[in-house]
Amino acid sequence: MIKTIGVVGSGQMGNGIAHVAAQKGYDVIMSDVSEERVEAGFATIAKNLD
């Protein structure tokens, strides 16, 4: 059974996929060309959860 999902890219589409996967109970690994972009993607997800 799949438990972890990797998402390449943390832009609009990538963070949306990561968000939905996390809400469904999957562990999510998100990757992008820089740590700053990954952090921005996670910040967007956190903002959308509020």
What is the model's pLDDT at position 29?
96
Q: Write a three-state SS string for the chain.
A: CCCEEEEECCCHHHHHHHHHHHHCCCEEEEECCCHHHHHHHHHHHHHHHC
Residue 49 clears pLDDT 90, i.e. is over it: no
Please give the average per-residue pLDDT across 27-43, as a whole number: 96
pTM for this entry: 0.86
Please give the average per-residue pLDDT across 12-33, as a whole number: 96
| Residue 25, CA distances (Å) to 3, 4, 36 in order | 8, 9, 25
Domain locations in the chain?
Answer: 4-49
Q: Which pLDDT band, with edges at 50, 70 and 90, does 9 fall under?
A: very high
Reading the block at residue 9, the tokens are: 């890219």
| Cα separation of the two ends of the chain | 30
Integer Cα distance of 50 and 29 in angstroms: 21
